[in-house]
Chain A
Amino acid sequence: MIKEEEDIQEDYKWELSRKEFMRSLLVIGVAVNIPFFTSCETKEDSKEFDCTPLSTEQLKVLQAVQLVLFPKEGNGPSALEINADKWIVYVLNDAREPQREKDFIVEHLEGLNQLSKETHKAPYDLLSIDQQEGVLDLFFGDKAPKRWGSRMLTLIFEALLLDPLYGVNPNNIGWTWLNHNPGAPRPNKQNKYPTIYTTMNEV
């Protein structure tokens, strides 16, 4: 079977250097003095889970934008119902994920919030839905943020359709909605990612 390019982890990487990103922020008029990777200072407020390396504010922005990308409107589960926010935090803590790719996610999350403050004098999560969509459309007007949006959607799809063993797609909610057959055998604790790397090397 030919592996089409689109089948091979389309947009899994995005070839964006930090320099390009900074340039893109300047283009959309965002201040560049961004507090990257501030830790989750008030984890109690972030509701339920340790969001490190995201700050509480970053988590709120993440949850807000995920609900715009994949809303709760009656047709299937929302991003938060499939634990897409927790999935992003998992990815940000995955030692196998290249650091530049984690940086890309967080830097653009910050970029979106900065654009919101620039255009509406308020953080992104406090805007109305219409305002959030407007800011997002403006944000996506540039190439790199659009790639970030594409990446965010891919991660939402992972939360929607991966095995619940990964803490996403609870009670098969995504599979049920899309009538998706996951195949068998399903992963177990020994052969799931990333444990499989250890299991394969056991003698």
Chain B
Amino acid sequence: MKYDVCVIGSGAGAGPVIYELSKAGYKVVVLEKGPWAKTEDFNKDEMTATRRDSFRPALKDECHTVVKKNKEGKWMKRSTYDSGRSFWNGNCVGGSSNFMSGYFHRLKPIDFNLLSEFGPIEGANVVDWPINYEELESYYEKTERIVGVSGKVVDHSFLEPRSTPDFPFPPLQENIFSSWLDKGAEKLKYEIFPTPRGIISEPKEGRNACYYSNYCGSYGCSSDAKSSSRVALIGEAGKTGNCKVLPNSKVFHLETNGDGRIIRANFYDSGNEKQYIEATIFVVAAQAVETSRLLLMSKNTEFPNGLANNSGQVGKNMVYSSGGVGSGQLYFSDLDKEDAEALDTPGLFINRAIQQWYEIDHPELGRVKGGTVDFVSEHANGITKAIKLKKTSGGKLLYGSGLKKRLFDYFTKQRKLKFEIFVDWLPNDKCYVTLDDEVKDKWGDPVAKIWAGHHEHDNKVARYLADKTERLFKEIGMKNVSTGIGSSPPANLQAGGCRFGNDPKTSVLDKNCKAHEVDNLYVSDGSFMPTGGSVTYTFSIYANSFRVADKIIADLNSNY
């Protein structure tokens, strides 16, 4: 059977395409490399979710190699099998959207014009987007409504223009700490506001509201409140009768006909047998690293450097959503009993953010793009918390009574609250993905080699935001306030590698996310982003995928 559309991947970048095309009556097949985990397969078991990574491939079977600069300034390669730090994110139907925390900030209008707004930065490949905010706004609204976003719009200096007055779902319930942040922010004249979340606070079409399990990020949702692609979109697509999902189907090659068109997707099935699917249009949404890898692996005489890569742009200019993580502690002994009990209430969200410094004009930094600060609780994972306590700050291994006392005090006498800083990860020549010809996966294919070059400018901006935020934590009486400014790419927040743009020489995709060089290839995950903005990407990936779905429908209607 030849399908109208073959979608590779099933996460946030794939879901809207699958949903819209199925609803429009097109026959859609989805090739997902992971299994089809259902809601009942998810629980709050640290062993399954994070200690043994049951929803990610075993690194001995499939790893990545990561190239980072060491302290001496030399670029060193290390396999994730050796480091134990997986670069996979939720390989199952719905992809990593099953395991996200769902911080759903929109991009701002200035994010679409970073080069025009702030000018070039030496060593960074900053460009403007080929579309503007207005072209994406209606799709943000669509995502809020169809996928499900909760929150409350509060005016602030960088509130993006909206076509609707508020979110379709009211804010989630909050911990008392949120009100303390509000008071501190008021004193400091900081513009704090409720964080929109891709988690529904009221039931929606068979999905239950959030039940405040205390284990959200890294865990699959047991009430379907989390707005994963699996729950919000693929389930609905399945009801049309037009959508077929093939789990455990690992695509390894897209085959062209010698005339610039893909004719089939070759994949390994659950028994590791080679199979193929034929379709009119192919949509790749395997998450940024793997999308680039698949295109690079799809070499042939027509595309000797990889599919859609005659310009040499595939895999280039990867970006990550990162900046730094800060924390502070509140000791119960410093609080009255009622406040201590309220702070210790599990499950309730902090849900506060500051974007007051989304643009900075500073004597030393100049006028530069700033970022977002999100406030979060320390993750409830007990083992992860304990692991952090086994070494002193000097690196000495603690054990015996001293360690047990430290554990007991940490778990029972305080709460750690955190803030996460998101600044632009400036695209640069040392941040890209290529194939590693020395390391193969279990099928014998080259793994992705991830070069994680980072621009020093990002650290300066992050430090600026950290200083401001630390002041707020201290204002409300928090102890041990500190921030780690990071240059390591967080594996769960990745984009770029297949930039969209108007010039085929400098971009892989056109403004509709169709490959310049391949007539029937679209890329609908975060790969399209030439710059990432200073927010996490998932909301924008969803919104852009809805936009791309409209372009594909128009393409099918007019050209096939």
Contact = CB atoms under 8 A, between A and B. Distances in A.
- Most A CB within 10 A of own CB, among B43, B60, B379: B43
Nearest to B345: A181
B101 A179 contact: no
A3 to B, nearest CB: 5
B404 A201 contact: no
A13 interface: yes
Interface string B404-435: 11011001100000001010000000000000
B176 interface: no
Interface string A180-200: 111111111011111011011
A177 B412 CA distance: 9
Interface string B263-284: 0000000100000000000000
Interface in B376-396: 376, 379-384, 386-388, 390-391
Given A68-B399, A75-B404, A75-B408, A15 B48 contact: no
A3 B44 contact: no
B457 to A, nearest CB: 19
Given A1-B101, A5-B488, A181-B214, A192 B412 contact: no
B408 A200 contact: no
A166 interface: yes
Interface in B227-256: 247-248
B387 A10 contact: yes
Nearest to B213: A183
B335 interface: no
Given A4-B325, A75-B404, A13 B382 contact: no
Question: Which size bracket describes the interface of B in this complex?
Answer: 35 or more
Contact of A3 (B52, B60, B247, B491): B491
B92 A15 contact: no
Interface stretch (A24-32, A41-49, A54-62, A149-157): A149-157
Dominant SS at the B interface? loop
Nearest to A149: B397
Dominant SS at the A interface? loop
Contacts of B130: none
Contact of A76 (B44, B58, B404): B404
B47 A166 contact: yes
B397 A140 contact: yes
A12 B48 CA distance: 14
Given A71-B400, A160-B386, A185-B43, A9 B53 contact: yes
B492 interface: yes
Interface residues of A, number: 62
Interface stretch (B81-89, B131-139, B520-528, B551-559): B81-89
A1 B382 contact: no
B400 A68 contact: yes
Given A5-B488, A178-B412, A188-B43, A12 B84 contact: yes
Contacts of A50: none
B48 A196 contact: yes
A146 interface: yes
Given A75-B401, A179-B411, A179-B412, A161 B48 contact: no
Interface stretch (B33-41, B140-148, B286-294, B442-450): B33-41
Contacts of B92: 200
Interface string B467-491: 0000000000000000010101011
Contacts of A186: 43-45
Given A69-B399, A191-B48, A185 B404 contact: no
Nearest to A158: B383
A10 B397 CA distance: 14
B439 to A, nearest CB: 15
B512 to A, nearest CB: 31
B19 interface: no
A2 B490 contact: yes
Given A76-B408, A150-B390, A200-B36, A193 B54 contact: yes
A35 interface: no
B222 interface: yes
B214 A2 contact: no
Given A76-B408, A98-B60, A184 B213 contact: yes
B493 interface: yes
Nearest to A6: B388
Contacts of A68: 399-400
Contact of A184 (B44, B381, B400): B44
A69 B404 CA distance: 9
Contacts of B405: 75
A9 B52 CA distance: 9
Contacts of A190: 40-41
B123 interface: no
A2 B325 contact: yes
A183 B215 contact: yes
A125 B493 CA distance: 48
A75 B412 CA distance: 13
Interface of B: 35-38, 40-48, 50-54, 58, 60, 81-86, 92, 100-101, 103, 213-215, 217-218, 222, 247-248, 270, 321-322, 325, 346, 376, 379-384, 386-388, 390-391, 397, 399-401, 403-405, 407-408, 411-412, 420, 422, 484, 486, 488, 490-493, 536
9 contacts: A2-B322, A2-B490, A8-B491, A15-B83, A96-B52, A158-B47, A185-B222, A196-B54, A200-B37
Given A4-B490, A75-B401, A190-B41, 11 more contacts: A6-B388, A8-B86, A10-B384, A71-B400, A150-B391, A153-B390, A157-B390, A161-B46, A161-B382, A185-B43, A197-B54
**Top 8 nearest A-B pairs by Cβ distance?**
A13-B84, A183-B44, A187-B45, A1-B101, A178-B411, A200-B35, A161-B382, A157-B386
